[in-house]
Structures are given as C-alpha cells and as structure tokens.
Structure 1
Amino acid sequence: MSDIQNFKPVQKYETFSYLPEMNADQVRKQIEYCLAQGWNPSVEYSEKEHAMSPYWYMWKLPFFGEQSVEAVLQEIEECRRSNPGMMVRFVAYDNYAQSLGMAFVVDRGR
C-alpha cells in the first residue's frame, strides 16, 4: 500500500496542456504552422478562475491576413505585459471552414 500515490488532478485548458509546457521555439513553430495554413491569428486573455469558460477577453481584433510570426509574438508579449497574472492564449481562425483552427495557452498567468 505504501507504493500507491494520491491522484492530484491538474487543470487542463486545451490539447497541448497534456504535454510539457512549450518553449519559445515550439510556440513559434505552432504560430508558423497556423500562418502557413492561411489561418487568422488572434490573442485572448482571461483570469485563471474563468479559464474554463469558452469566452475569453479578446486582445484587439483578430490579425486578419497577418503573415509575420514576429508581429504575432509581439502582440502576445504586449498582452502579457498589459494583463499581468492573467492567462494568455493564442487562437487561429480558419476562415474557409469557419471554425477554430487551433488554440493553446501560451502563458498560465503565474
């Protein structure tokens, strides 16, 4: 019995949250993929206690037609600085399928 450990649930926010936290290069590659698909990037943020809600605050409007990974990363960083302690996620909209192409948390608001 001493080998059994208590299960401690960990809050999962999206698909990538089941993996180890992404480093800056991995985040960059995911954004590059989204832009290569022609998806429109966006940045959202929320308080931790409301993170499971599908509705997060939108940081500016989606960046329609944006092709620069650097510009998206700059907006993510600006959102982090302007909203300390809040969670920040990257979202990419697929305008052909009229749906969400990808979304993942880039800052858990430590």
Structure 2
Amino acid sequence: MADMQDYKSSLSDVTSRKFETFSYLPEMTTEQTRKQVEYIVSKGWNPAVEHTEPENATSSYWYMWKLPMFGETDVDVILGEAEACHKAHPNNHVRLVGYDNYAQSKGAEMVVYRGKPV
C-alpha cells in the first residue's frame, strides 16, 4: 500500500478539485467520452447536460442546459448539446448526466469540459 497516491486538492485551489470518479483519471479523449455516452444510451438512461462556474462546482446545484434529453439515443446529438453548452459558457465546467428512470437517480455523471477559473 505504500504506492498509494494522495491527491492534493483544496478549496483554495479551484483547479485541484475533484468532482466525480473520472476526475481522478487522466482527461478522457473524445473517443472515450463517446463510449461513455454510448453506455448511457445503451442502459436506456436519459441524458442531460449541466454546467457551473469552477468556483461553485462543489455545491450541489449546477445549472441545467435546456431540458433533459428524454428518450434521446443519438450519441452525436447528445455530444453536440454538451459542446453547445461549452461554447455558450466557455469558462464553466460542463457535465453529462445519465438519469436512470427505474432507480430514479443518476446512473452516470461526468465532467466533459473543465472551465477555467476567472
């Protein structure tokens, strides 16, 4: 266990904060992000896009980008909405959520664009 890595994160350093499981891994490539969206679609979960300022990312409230995409199965449409949100709010973090209707909770959640602190 001596090889365990400590992640240096703090409230004062906005860029060091972790938000979900994928935050502890290297940034996903476009293809890896696509695979995650394909997984959300394959599970029948409803995708949604959310965003917030980096300094507010640890709060439980993120802004909803449009309405959740109920029943959307086209991966390109979902990725296009995430990109449109990022273009409209380039300094904000943008995350993709997969809502599980059966469990009535989030089945997946990942930051797909990291904003720059102002």
Aligned-residue offset at 1:54: 1.5
Once residues 92 and 102 of structure 1 are traced to their aligned partners in structure 2, the CA distance between those partners, rounded to angstroms, is: 5
* 2:4 matched residue in structure 1: none
Aligned mate of 1:85, from 81, 86, 91: 91
* 1:44 matched residue in structure 2: 50
Between the two proteins, what is the percent identity of the paired residues? 57
TM-score after normalising by structure 2: 0.85
Once residues 89 and 21 of structure 2 are traced to their aligned partners in structure 1, the CA distance between those partners, rounded to angstroms, is: 24
* 1:28-80 per-position Cα deviation (integer Å, ceiling 9, x unaligned): 00000000000000000000010011110000010000000000011011001
Aligned mate of 2:108, from 84, 102, 109: 102
Once residues 54 and 91 of structure 1 are traced to their aligned partners in structure 2, the CA distance between those partners, rounded to angstroms, is: 14
> Of the two, which has the highest radius of gyration?
1
Once residues 26 and 49 of structure 1 are traced to their aligned partners in structure 2, the CA distance between those partners, rounded to angstroms, is: 26
SS at structure 2 position matched to 1:30: helix
Whether 1:29 and 2:41 are equivalent positions in the alignment is no
Once residues 73 and 90 of structure 2 are traced to their aligned partners in structure 1, the CA distance between those partners, rounded to angstroms, is: 27
Once residues 90 and 42 of structure 2 are traced to their aligned partners in structure 1, the CA distance between those partners, rounded to angstroms, is: 30
Where do 5+ consecutive residues of structure 2 fail to align?
1-6, 10-15
* 2:59 matched residue in structure 1: 53
Whether 1:70 and 2:76 are equivalent positions in the alignment is yes
Q: CA RMSD in A?
A: 1.1
